[in-house]
Chains A and B, each alone.
Chain A
Amino acid sequence: MIKRLYECIRSLKINCLAFLAVLPLFAFTFIFVIGPLAYMLILSFLQRAEVWGVVNKFTFKNYRDILEPVYLKTFIESFKLAITTTFLITIIGYPFGYFMAKLDAKWKKRMMMFIFVPFWTSSLIRLYGWIIIFRANGVFDRFLMTLNITDAPLKLLYSYPAVLVGMVYVLLPFMILAVYSSAEKLDWSLVEAARDLGASSFQAFLTISLKLTLPGLLSGVVLTFIPSMGLFFIADILGGNKVVLVGNLIQEQLMKAHNWPFAAALSVILMILTSLMIYIYRRISNVKELEGLV
């Protein structure tokens, strides 16, 4: 890069000037993205100080600590929840996005509005709405009791299902939009061609539509799976202290226990896991860019 910069200044060609123009962006990225990451990585190998901050002494202790059953279990729990969340989101979001792409332009716009309107409010506040619904004798309980489906409050709040619902609720739009943008590009005449060549509508869906929207589906999976590993506030608000995920653990270690090096180590591992996911995604889909990042 330095060499290129040097050549640039010497030659002053147009695309070189363009390079100079984006240089501030590189600088920005370097300072605010790469810098903190490097700091975190270094931090994860340091020791915790007695009272506050860190001691500049190299150690692997933080990583060894992760292997302790308590923390390992948190990782496994998070992983399970993330998989369940992603699975549910796929089942709901794929058909939603797929059929949305089939609507006419007017309805597409309206559906888009329905999806985007909630974004105008912070998801944190919207999650408090779920508390009203889920709490003992809340909206949901009373609804079920009026219908005589249950005769006592279910006490759904601060439980695993509540967290699951919250996760699905917050992350679903990402899947819908990813699938939608992929299905939108789908040429429906290909489906007709398949039908013409003897495919039933289901066969045509499997061999043509699904295959061609797979990049969208997979990027939806990545876009929901990765955040669902790290989101801590949903488990906080809807799970109380009963559901502890990696995200919660990191937040707790950082903010409450003030064990920065350990929080850093946890973050590094989380990052490695999610990077692994993206790598697998690329191998499967042969797609270099995530689709649907509208």
Chain B
Amino acid sequence: MGEYILELDRIEKSFGDVKVLNDISLSVKQGEFITLLGPSGCGKTTTLRIIAGLEKPDKGKVYLEGKDVTNAEPNRRNVNTVFQNYALFPHMTVEGNISYSLRLKRLDRARIKETVSKALELVQLVGFEKRMPSELSGGQRQRVAIARAIVNEPRVLLLDEPLGALDLQLRRQMQTELKRLQKHLGITFVYITHDQEEALNMSDRIAVMRDGKFEQIGTPQEVYDQPKTSFVASFVGSANIIYGTVSHVNEDTLVFENKNGIGIAARNKINILKGQKITVAVRTEHISLTPAASNRNAVGLMGVVKEKSFAGGLLQIFVNLADGQEIIASRHGIDSLLVPGDNVIVTWAPEKAILVDLEGAQ
């Protein structure tokens, strides 16, 4: 128990007939930066609210520093939240907002002032003490919300899509700053986002959520390179999900077939039988396309180039397979003489094809 600062134990929560959280368990270490990543409506905000005490779970327990706080009021938990809409008190100055929790504790004025100015220094807002929230820009409000949440020296800081409302450039900058702040303060961060890039950049661990469940919890590297499910594979980064039936099982690889052709995937010591139906994830950047005319005997999936487009500095080539499935291949820089209408063979290095959705396996 002692080594974890925050533990969620089999949490369940429903709103009316809708089950929002279904058996959620999570253990967070002191000083860890953990991100709950998932599409909107997956239950990540509810999870956060349960940790903060703003919502009570129907089943399950919440432990903070080993103590059961499941039914503790929010003001009795050493946890603070940076809300999605910042929730700054509009009738208080920046100073008033930040000092709110300290004033509730009835600390003496000199100490409050000192703590507030330290916090303002930390979030680089010195000189803004007397401003009202309405006089601040989005980024500045964001900083005030963070300062307000950390002056109380919480054991765990909860951040609910704190950068969601900011423009891309500011978001990148704040990502770096938040990470720096977290290292500096040594506070455990539970961070919510639906932006996979943000999650990969900042987190020590990522918990990928879907429909009120954790699909996978692991380091960014693990989640990216070894996705356990097709959802994780396609939500974190972008991957092609390919279905097939196993036709050969070798030492390190296996061969599968579908209507479009033949594919090879890494076995990863998983017990797979011939004839078993499998799902394989291949990242778009690992897809190779060879003109079908130049290599008649190549092993791969047969398709036709449909479209090429540039997105975010990447060239994306869309290929239609024989059964209509779409495969996306992405390339840095300008690529390929392939034009729409070309027949291609879709291949990949066997170790780049990861078996996913293995219910019960391993």
Chain A positions within 8 Å of B, measured between CB atoms, are 187, 189-190, 192-201, 203, 207-208, 211-212
Cβ of B135 under 8 Å from chain A: no
What's the Cα separation between A187 and B105 when bound, in Å?
24
What's the Cα separation between A193 and B79 when bound, in Å?
11
Q: Report whether A192 and B74 are in contact in the complex, using a CB–CB cutoff of 8 Å.
A: yes
B-chain residues with CB within 8 Å of residue A194 when the two chains form the complex:
89, 100
What's the Cα separation between A191 and B104 when bound, in Å?
14
Instruction: Decide: A193 near B104, CB < 8 A? Known: A198-B152, A199-B75.
Output: no
Cβ of B73 under 8 Å from chain A: yes
Cβ of B253 under 8 Å from chain A: no
What's the Cα separation between A211 and B89 when bound, in Å?
10
Which of B79, B83, B105 touches A189 (beta carbons < 8 Å)? Answer: B83
Q: Report whether A196 and B105 are in contact in the complex, using a CB–CB cutoff of 8 Å.
A: no
B-chain residues with CB within 8 Å of residue A199 when the two chains form the complex:
75, 100, 104
Q: Report whether B152 and A197 are in contact in the complex, using a CB–CB cutoff of 8 Å.
A: yes
Q: Give the residue among B74, B83, B105 with the most A Cβ atoms within 10 A.
A: B74
A-chain residues with CB within 8 Å of residue B148 when the two chains form the complex:
197
9 A-B pairs (CB sep. < 8 Å) = A192-B83, A193-B88, A195-B53, A195-B75, A196-B52, A197-B100, A198-B105, A199-B75, A203-B104
B-chain residues with CB within 8 Å of residue A203 when the two chains form the complex:
104
Closest to B96 in A: A207
What's the Cα separation between A175 and B75 when bound, in Å?
32
* New contact pairs (20) apart from A189-B85, A189-B87, A212-B90, CB-CB < 8 Å: A187-B85, A187-B87, A192-B87, A193-B81, A193-B88, A193-B89, A195-B54, A195-B74, A195-B75, A196-B75, A197-B100, A198-B101, A198-B104, A198-B105, A198-B152, A199-B100, A199-B104, A200-B73, A208-B89, A212-B91
What's the Cα separation between A193 and B54 when bound, in Å?
9
B-chain residues with CB within 8 Å of residue A193 when the two chains form the complex:
81, 83, 87-89
- B residues 33-82 with Cβ under 8 Å of A? 52-54, 73-75, 79-81
What's the Cα separation between A194 and B75 when bound, in Å?
8
Q: Report whether B100 and A211 are in contact in the complex, using a CB–CB cutoff of 8 Å.
A: no
B-chain residues with CB within 8 Å of residue A195 when the two chains form the complex:
53-54, 73-75
Q: Report whether B85 and A198 are in contact in the complex, using a CB–CB cutoff of 8 Å.
A: no
Q: Report whether B80 and A197 are in contact in the complex, using a CB–CB cutoff of 8 Å.
A: yes
- B residues 110-154 with Cβ under 8 Å of A? 148-149, 152
What's the Cα separation between A198 and B151 when bound, in Å?
12
Which of A189, A196, A207, A211 touches B74 (beta carbons < 8 Å)? Answer: A196
Q: Report whether B54 and A197 are in contact in the complex, using a CB–CB cutoff of 8 Å.
A: no
What's the Cα separation between A196 and B72 when bound, in Å?
12
A-chain residues with CB within 8 Å of residue B89 when the two chains form the complex:
190, 193-194, 208
What's the Cα separation between A193 and B158 when bound, in Å?
12
B-chain residues with CB within 8 Å of residue A208 when the two chains form the complex:
89
B-chain residues with CB within 8 Å of residue A187 when the two chains form the complex:
85, 87
What's the Cα separation between A211 and B83 when bound, in Å?
21
What's the Cα separation between A197 and B148 when bound, in Å?
8
Q: Report whether B101 and A197 are in contact in the complex, using a CB–CB cutoff of 8 Å.
A: yes
Shortest distance in angstroms between A221's beta carbon and chain B's nearest beta carbon?
19
Query: What are the nearest 5 A-B pairs in CB distance?
Result: A193-B87, A197-B101, A195-B74, A189-B87, A198-B75
B-chain residues with CB within 8 Å of residue A192 when the two chains form the complex:
54, 74, 83, 87
What's the Cα separation between A64 and B152 when bound, in Å?
64
What's the Cα separation between A208 and B81 when bound, in Å?
17
What's the Cα separation between A294 and B354 when bound, in Å?
63
Shortest distance in angstroms between A203's beta carbon and chain B's nearest beta carbon?
6
Shortest distance in angstroms between A198's beta carbon and chain B's nearest beta carbon?
5
Closest to A193 in B: B87
What's the Cα separation between A37 and B89 when bound, in Å?
43
B-chain residues with CB within 8 Å of residue A211 when the two chains form the complex:
91
Shortest distance in angstroms between A188's beta carbon and chain B's nearest beta carbon?
10
Shortest distance in angstroms between B144's beta carbon and chain A's nearest beta carbon?
12
Shortest distance in angstroms between B84's beta carbon and chain A's nearest beta carbon?
9
What's the Cα separation between A187 and B91 when bound, in Å?
12
What's the Cα separation between A201 and B54 when bound, in Å?
12
What's the Cα separation between A22 and B100 when bound, in Å?
48
Which of A189, A196, A201, A212 touches B80 (beta carbons < 8 Å)? Answer: A196
Q: Report whether B75 and A200 are in contact in the complex, using a CB–CB cutoff of 8 Å.
A: yes
What's the Cα separation between A189 and B87 when bound, in Å?
6
A-chain residues with CB within 8 Å of residue B73 when the two chains form the complex:
195, 200-201
What's the Cα separation between A192 and B87 when bound, in Å?
9
Shortest distance in angstroms between B98's beta carbon and chain A's nearest beta carbon?
10
What's the Cα separation between A200 and B83 when bound, in Å?
19
Q: Give the residue among A187, A189, A196, A200 with the most B Cβ atoms within 10 A.
A: A196
Q: Give the residue among A198, A199, A200, A201 with the most B Cβ atoms within 10 A.
A: A198
Shortest distance in angstroms between B24's beta carbon and chain A's nearest beta carbon?
20
What's the Cα separation between A192 and B104 when bound, in Å?
15
What's the Cα separation between A212 and B83 when bound, in Å?
19
A-chain residues with CB within 8 Å of residue B152 when the two chains form the complex:
197-198
What's the Cα separation between A39 and B88 when bound, in Å?
51
Shortest distance in angstroms between B71's beta carbon and chain A's nearest beta carbon?
15
Shortest distance in angstroms between B151's beta carbon and chain A's nearest beta carbon?
9
Closest to A200 in B: B75
Q: Report whether A196 and B54 are in contact in the complex, using a CB–CB cutoff of 8 Å.
A: yes
Shortest distance in angstroms between A235's beta carbon and chain B's nearest beta carbon?
39
What's the Cα separation between A146 and B272 when bound, in Å?
86
A-chain residues with CB within 8 Å of residue B87 when the two chains form the complex:
187, 189-190, 192-193
Shortest distance in angstroms between A178's beta carbon and chain B's nearest beta carbon?
18
B-chain residues with CB within 8 Å of residue A198 when the two chains form the complex:
75, 101, 104-105, 152
A-chain residues with CB within 8 Å of residue B54 when the two chains form the complex:
192, 195-196
What's the Cα separation between A189 and B84 when bound, in Å?
10
